[in-house]
Amino acid sequence: MEIAGTLEGLQPYTIHGGRYLRVFYSHADDPETILQCQLPEEAVDASIKPGDPISIKYLLKTVMGISRRAPKCS
């Protein structure tokens, strides 16, 4: 399942040499609630910045990946 949202922040860290990101985000239907997840660096689109529109990929209520959301066509 994919949910539209906004990237609120990123916090990189390493564990035993592996690079990970703590991702802070909100869902488009509830922008006041900031959520967070921890993902390996390769599961997050490297080009996104705080404030960008994102697509959050869920599997069984677990975030599996974050990518930039394509702009809406008019």
pLDDT for 2-49, tens place per residue?
Answer: 999 999 999 999 999 999 999 999 999 999 999 999 999 999 999 999
Domain boundaries defined on the chain: 2-68
Mean pLDDT along residues 53-74: 89
The upper half-sphere exposure of residue 53, i.e. CA atoms within 13 Å in the direction of its Cβ, equals 9
Coil, strand or helix at 49: coil
CA nearest to 52, candidates 3, 8, 1: 8
The reported pTM is 0.89
The pLDDT confidence band at residue 70, using thresholds 50, 70 and 90, is confident
Query: For residues 20 and 13, is the Cβ–Cβ distance under 8 A?
Result: yes
